[in-house]
Structure 1
């Protein structure tokens, strides 16, 4: 333990080491060139079988991912993608690249194959898998209550203005005379 303390005392005069990675891309244009390269030739391709029983085909499908893009760009994790997104001038390039990946998943929803992975990805990027119905009224509740009260007042005035026809104690019997 004493040796460690002695080593520490000897290095007190050294400048502290700054943590963090150096920027790999100095300009947004440099980053955009590499992103374009990823989408043109760096995306992993998977062979999938599509179609129904009698009409099955094998096709090759590009599978762009945020992690795949990060690794292709030379980063060690997808977090570096989001770190670049926070840097001035780089936000447009990163958002556009992630939008291309999102477009892939969105298009996959309509291909009729297993879409669970795409649904999962889209939900984790702000999409919702539910129906929402929003009801709005043009008038406020207070205005509706006031209108109902006015209608009651009008009804009361109309009822009061009707003539009162007294009913006799005995019901009137109308006899019918036949012309026979």
Structure 2
């Protein structure tokens, strides 16, 4: 039995984590961010995932399941989100800011509350009442 096998937890299942600590995770994120800024490249979620050495979005999101990595993953996602917001918020178009505000819960639809102030609404007249007001429609 190898030393690594002896050190592994007795009930460990699955592949070991590629990134061993939150500090290592943060360092990889910061390296990617710095690289993007130095090359004037956009900061992208897929680029970040690849820079972390992961092979899927799910592998990235799996790190949220480890309590010690939760803040690091949230920070990484916010850095990517901030980049998207910066790019959406251009003066050439209102579409980007509108999209971002909708994601923050804003709404651009007009909602009208049409009520009678609590009074009972009158029933709309039927066609028969409009055409021949003196004729009954058999409801007497």
Q: Normalising by structure 2, report the TM-score.
A: 0.56
1:31 aligns with 2:10: no
Q: Is the 8 A contact 1:105 1:118 kept in 2?
A: no
Instruction: Give runs of aligned pairs for residues 34-53 of structure 1, distance below 5 A.
Output: 34-41=28-35, 43=36
Helix, strand or coil for the counterpart of 1:62? coil
Match of 1:87 in 2: 66
CA contact (8 A) 2:90 2:96 kept: no
Which of 82, 85, 107 aligns to 1:130? It is: 107
Q: Which has the higher helix share?
A: 2
Query: Post-superposition shift, 1:21?
Result: 3.2
Is the alpha carbon distance of 1:115 and 1:68 closer, same or farther for their aligned partners in structure 2, counting shifts above 3 Å? farther
Q: 1:74 to 1:115 in 2, by over 3 A?
A: farther
User: Whose relative contact order is higher, 1 or 2, with alpha carbons under 8 Å and at least 6 apart?
Assistant: 2
**RMSD, aligned CA:** 3.9
Distance 1:116 1:67, change over 3 A: farther
Provide the residue aligned with 1:69 in structure 2. 48
Cα pair distance change 1:88/1:117, threshold 3 Å: same
Seen in structure 2, the aligned counterparts of structure 1 residues 119 and 61 have a Cα distance that, compared at 3 Å, is farther
TM-score (norm 1): 0.45
Superimposed CA distance per residue, residues 7-62 of structure 1 (whole angstroms, 9 cap, x where no aligned partner): xxxxxxxxxxx5x4320111111111111111011x398xxxxxxxxxxxxxx742
Three-state SS of the structure 1 residue aligned to 2:67 is: coil
Indicate if the aligned counterparts of 2:44 and 2:80 stay in contact, CA closer than 8 A. Answer: yes
CA contact (8 A) 1:105 1:119 kept: no
Gaps of 5+ in 1: 1-17, 46-59, 136-143, 146-180
Residue in structure 1 matched with residue 15 of structure 2 by the alignment: 21
How many aligned positions are there? 105
Match of 2:128 in 1: none
Report which of the two has the higher share of strand.
Answer: 1
Answer with 1 or 2: which has the greater Rg.
Answer: 1
The partner residue of 2:82 within 69, 82, 103 is: 103
